[in-house]
Amino acid sequence: MSAQAYTIRTHQLGDMGWITYRHAMTVALDYGWGQPFESMIGEISAQFLKTYDPDKERCFIAERDGKMLGCVFVVNAGKQTAKLRLLFVEPEARGLGLAKRLVDEVVQFSREAGYEKVLLWTMQMLGSARHVYRKAGFEVISEEINTEFGENLVSETWELRLTENESI
The whole-number pLDDT of residue 109 equals 98
Neighbours of 60 (CB within 10 A): 21
Task: Confirm whether 36 is domain-assigned.
Answer: yes
Task: Indicate the Cα dihedral angle 167, 109, 52, 91, nearest 10°.
Answer: -120
Q: Tell me which residue range forms the domain holding 56.
A: 7-161
Q: Is the pLDDT of residue 139 over 80?
A: yes
CA distance 31 to 34: 9
| DSSP sequence for 28-80 | HHHH---HHHHHHHHHHHHHHHHH--TTT-EEEEEEETTEEEEEEEEEEEETT
Supply the pTM of this predicted model.
0.91
Task: Confirm whether 166 is domain-assigned.
Answer: no
The whole-number pLDDT of residue 49 equals 97
Task: Confirm whether 167 is domain-assigned.
Answer: no
Number of domains within the chain: 1
The whole-number pLDDT of residue 167 equals 45
Task: Confirm whether 2 is domain-assigned.
Answer: no
The whole-number pLDDT of residue 165 equals 54
| Helix (H) or strand (E) run with residue 16 in it | helix 15-31
CATH number at residue 79: 3.40.630.30
Task: Confirm whether 23 is domain-assigned.
Answer: yes
Task: Confirm whether 1 is domain-assigned.
Answer: no
